[in-house]
């Protein structure tokens, strides 16, 4: 298939681009390299030494993978449209969104950047599809965070909730009542409204994948050549929780848990992120009655459980600190992930061997870790 990947230089976008290319798909990446620029803004860094996009592309050629690259900001509608017309893709995979909740809560600039960037990029892609070719399949990376963590709603279904309207006693499926916990998560709730309307009015073919928190750094493909290595964020802004914990433990720092660690969340390994996107691309929705929504998650754990796993394996000390986030201190969580499973997704779950993988990277790259970047989350 011909697949256009927006944001294909980022933490999820890069390994997904490699995975799809390694499976024989014809890949075009559009990326404005904004994630690299944000490193400069935050004086943060990837624990792994990531290579320039030019070096990365040379390394993909050596693997005989077919990846083209455009250094463009898809907020520029005309440029996006030209590239889509030129590429004529079967599917567009959309990663070109600011993806950190803490970043989106730093201040007004970051709040506005996150909303402007995420709404405009998504809307530009939808407009391109409407005006160029309506049967391009749009695959979007959503977030489990659109659901929030209400106990009243039972197991989290895949996008749609079955309710009885009390005034009419009718049973209907509605888009799950969104309850985001940060500006970032809110931006994905906005995306959902765009998808719902564009699907309704123009019958667009859309898959929205509500992903859990990603852990891990390397995939089968990124391991093939050091130049292909993926990002590893360990800081308080972009580092995801398990990666932060492992890098803290591996470098002799305290494992810092926000609050009591009772927050229960859904997780997925980076290898599975790429695999699920592949499954979504290769299995288009059968009809366009509604937006297809899958939960892209492997398993559910509490933050405390994660901390304890890291503590036991690596003799790390757990330190409970004030939670900078506004969230329930403790919640239960059950998540339905039958959609992707029914299409062949066989989740990788937390295992010592895979955590050892991260630890190996963290230890090897220890000298890159700036301790002052570990506790940088803004309070909200």
Candidates 114, 121, 128, 143; catalytic one: 143
The burial of 360, by beta-carbon neighbours within 10 Å (0-12 exposed, 13-18 middle, 19 or more buried), is given as middle
Q: Does 37 bind a second copy (CB under 8 A)?
A: no
Tell me how far CA of residue 16 lies from CA of 22, 57, 172, 221, in angstroms.
10, 14, 36, 9
CB of 27 to a second copy, least distance (A): 26
H or E segment and range at residue 248 = helix 241-250
User: Which one is catalytic: 149, 176, 184, 238?
Assistant: 184
Q: Decide if residue 328 touches a second copy (CB under 8 A).
A: no
Q: Where are the alpha helices (DSSP H) in 283-332?
A: 303-314
Enter the tokens of residue 251. 């470098």
Q: How far apart are CA 257 and CA 253, in angstroms?
A: 12
Concatenating the DSSP letter of every residue in 125-193 gives HHHHHHHH-TTPEEEEEEEGGGT---GGG-SB-SSEEEEEETTTTEEEEEE-----SSHHHHHHHHHHH
Binders in 282-311 for a second copy, by CB under 8 A: none
Applying CB under 8 A, among 51, 77, 320, 360 the residue interacting with a second copy is 77
Binder of a second copy out of 43, 52, 62, 154 (CB under 8 A) = 154
Tell me the number of residues near a second copy by CB under 8 A: 48
Check if 330 is active-site.
no
Q: Least distance to a second copy from the beta carbon of 375, Å?
A: 21
Answer whether 247's CB lies under 8 Å from 47's CB. yes
Contact between 85 and a second copy per CB under 8 A: no
Cα of 143 vs its chain's centroid, Å? 7
Span near a second copy by CB under 8 A; candidates 57-65, 89-97, 165-173, 314-322: 165-173
For position 165 contacting a second copy by CB under 8 A, the verdict is: yes
Cβ distance to a second copy smaller for residue 17 or 295: 295
Among 162, 338, 342, 351, binds a second copy (CB under 8 A): 162
If the CB atoms of residues 30 and 59 are measured against a second copy, the closer one turns out to be 30
116 scored as a contact of a second copy (CB under 8 A): yes
Answer yes or no: are the C-beta atoms of 138 and 94 closer than 8 Å.
yes
Based on the residue annotation, tell me whether 188 is a catalytic residue of this protein.
yes
C-alpha span between 112 and 39 (Å, rounded): 18
Instruction: Say whether residue 164 binds a second copy (CB under 8 A).
Output: yes
Q: Please identify, using beta-carbon distances, which residue of 190 and 227 lies nearer to a second copy.
A: 190
User: Which residues make beta-bridge pairs with 301?
Assistant: 265
Q: What is the Cα–Cα distance from 356 to 361, expressed in whole angstroms? A: 9
One of 37, 58, 85, 172 touching a second copy (CB under 8 A): 172
Choosing from 54, 88, 133, 197, the residue that interacts with a second copy (CB under 8 A) is 197
Nearest partner of 216 among 11, 37, 1, 366, judged by Cα: 11
> According to CB under 8 A, which one of 1, 130, 224, 350 is a site residue for a second copy?
130
Give the H or E element holding residue 111: helix 108-132
Our answer to whether residue 143 is catalytic in this structure is: yes
Selected binder of a second copy within 155, 287, 322, 367 (CB under 8 A) = 155
Query: Nearest Cα to 194, choosing from 257, 126, 146, 259?
Result: 126
Q: Is 318 in the site for a second copy (CB under 8 A)?
A: no
92-111 residues near a second copy, rule: CB under 8 A: 107-108, 111
| Residue span binding a second copy (CB under 8 A) among the ranges 60-68, 166-174, 214-222, 289-297 | 166-174
Residues marked as catalytic: 143, 184, 188
Residues forming the site for a second copy (CB under 8 A): 77, 107-108, 111-112, 115-116, 119-120, 123-124, 127, 130-131, 152-155, 157, 161-168, 170-172, 174-175, 177-180, 183, 186, 189-190, 193-194, 196-197, 200-201, 326, 380
């Amino acid at each position: 298939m011909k697949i256009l990947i927006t944001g294909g230089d980022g933490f999820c976008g890069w390994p997904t681009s490699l995975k799809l290319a390694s499976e024989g798909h014809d890949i075009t990446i559009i990326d404005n390299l904004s994630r690299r620029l944000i490193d400069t803004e935050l004086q943060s860094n990837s624990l792994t030494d990531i290579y320039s996009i030019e070096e990365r592309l040379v390394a993909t050629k050596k693997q005989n993978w077919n990846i083209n690259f455009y250094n463009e900001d898809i907020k520029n509608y005309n440029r996006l449209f030209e590239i889509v017309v030129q590429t004529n893709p079967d599917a567009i995979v959309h990663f070109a969104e600011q993806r950190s909740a803490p970043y989106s809560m730093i201040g007004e600039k970051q709040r506005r950047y996150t909303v402007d960037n995420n709404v405009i990029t998504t809307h530009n892609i939808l407009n391109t599809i409407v005006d160029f070719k309506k049967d391009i399949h749009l695959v979007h990376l959503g977030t489990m965070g659109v659901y929030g963590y209400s106990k009243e709603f039972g197991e989290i279904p895949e996008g749609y909730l079955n309710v009885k309207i009390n005034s009419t006693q009718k049973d209907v499926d509605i888009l799950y009542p969104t309850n985001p916990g940060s500006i970032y998560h809110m931006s994905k709730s906005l995306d959902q409204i765009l998808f719902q309307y564009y699907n309704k009015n123009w019958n667009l073919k859309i898959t929205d994948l509500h992903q859990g928190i990603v852990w891990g750094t390397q995939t089968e493909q990124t391991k093939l050549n050091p130049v292909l290595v993926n990002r590893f964020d360990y800081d308080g802004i972009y580092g995801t929780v398990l990666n932060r914990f492992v890098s803290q433990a591996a470098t002799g720092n305290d494992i810092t848990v926000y609050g009591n660690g009772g927050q229960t969340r859904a997780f997925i390994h980076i290898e599975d992120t790429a695999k699920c996107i592949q499954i979504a691309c290769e299995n288009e929705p059968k009809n366009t009655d509604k937006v297809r929504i899958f939960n892209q998650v492997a398993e559910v754990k509490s933050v405390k459980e994660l901390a304890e796993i890291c503590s036991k394996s690596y003799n790390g000390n757990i330190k409970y600190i004030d939670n900078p986030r506004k969230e329930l201190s403790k919640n239960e969580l059950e998540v339905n992930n039958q959609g992707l499973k029914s299409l062949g997704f066989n989740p990788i779950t937390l295992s010592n061997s895979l955590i050892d993988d991260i630890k190996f990277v963290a230890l090897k790259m220890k000298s890159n870790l700036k301790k002052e970047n570990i506790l940088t989350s803004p309070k909200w």
